[in-house]
């Protein structure tokens, strides 16, 4: 109400005593310190053309500020999205190189350290950490020990896990750190606790 009245009630067609558009713009956009602007406030309150200009400048300045804020918000959002996407992709790649599946379902079973020489060895990348092992049919759920030994039987890595029936397959998931081992031929051995080891030829890449 006050603003509307001010806009009409103090006509000043000759603009006597007016500070000029630049000063009004500075006051409207708050670029002028209050101590400097103070001397013009009385005039603004008693000169309708100046008050009208001041109101226009203030609206424009607020619009500009809003647009700048929107632009900043949009760029923050964009940076965040790109960073998040890169992070997720990195994480996915890491996860997929670290996870390996060993399928023992159609492997012949040899007790102790003996293996079938005609059989293709299992292969594992040394970057693999999370192992998923499909156990031979009929193995059953429950705890299992897994280890990697040299052909002469020296244990280099070992872990334990619990097999669960998944899609009609007893599968065992465990963490085994292999990256300190050298590439080459090994044996993967699996047993139920306190039972005899069952060996599978294994090549670490």
Residues at the interface with Zn ion (CB under 5 A): 18, 47, 50
Residue 32 tokens read as 């002028």
Least Cβ distance, residue 78 to Zn ion (angstroms): 45
Residue with Cβ nearer Zn ion (23 or 135): 23
Nearest by Cα to 45 from 5, 78, 75 = 5
* Under 8 Å between Cβ of 146 and 158: yes
Least Cβ distance, residue 20 to Zn ion (angstroms): 9
* Under 8 Å between Cβ of 173 and 129: no
* Under 8 Å between Cβ of 160 and 143: yes
Residue with Cβ nearer Zn ion (29 or 173): 29
Residue with Cβ nearer Zn ion (47 or 102): 47
- Classify 53 as helix, strand or coil: helix
* Under 8 Å between Cβ of 155 and 185: no
Residue with Cβ nearer Zn ion (52 or 125): 52
Residue 83 tokens read as 């960073």
Residue 87 and residue 84: Cα distance in Å, rounded?
A: 5
Least Cβ distance, residue 73 to Zn ion (angstroms): 37
Residue with Cβ nearer Zn ion (37 or 188): 37
Q: Give the number of other CB atoms < 10 A from CB of residue 133.
A: 27
Least Cβ distance, residue 75 to Zn ion (angstroms): 40
């Amino acid at each position: 109400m006050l603003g509307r009245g001010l806009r009409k009630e103090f006509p000043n067609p000759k603009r006597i005593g007016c500070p000029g558009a630049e000063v009004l713009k500075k006051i409207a956009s708050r670029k002028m310190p209050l101590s400097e602007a103070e001397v013009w406030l009385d005039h603004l309150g008693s000169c309708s053309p100046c008050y009208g200009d001041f109101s226009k400048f203030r609206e424009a300045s607020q619009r500009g500020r809003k647009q700048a804020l929107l632009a900043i918000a949009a760029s923050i959002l964009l940076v965040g999205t790109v960073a998040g996407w890169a992070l997720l992709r990195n994480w996915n790649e890491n996860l997929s190189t670290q996870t390996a599946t060993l399928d023992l379902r159609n492997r012949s079973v040899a007790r102790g350290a003996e293996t079938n020489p005609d059989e293709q060895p299992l292969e594992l990348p040394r970057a693999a950490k999370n192992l998923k092992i499909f156990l031979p049919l009929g193995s059953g759920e429950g705890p299992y020990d897994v280890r990697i030994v040299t052909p002469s039987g020296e244990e280099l890595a070992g872990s334990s896990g619990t097999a669960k029936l998944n899609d009609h397959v007893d599968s065992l998931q465990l963490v085994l750190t292999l990256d300190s081992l050298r590439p080459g031929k090994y044996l993967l051995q699996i047993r139920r606790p306190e039972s005899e080891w069952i060996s599978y030829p294994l090549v670490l890449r």
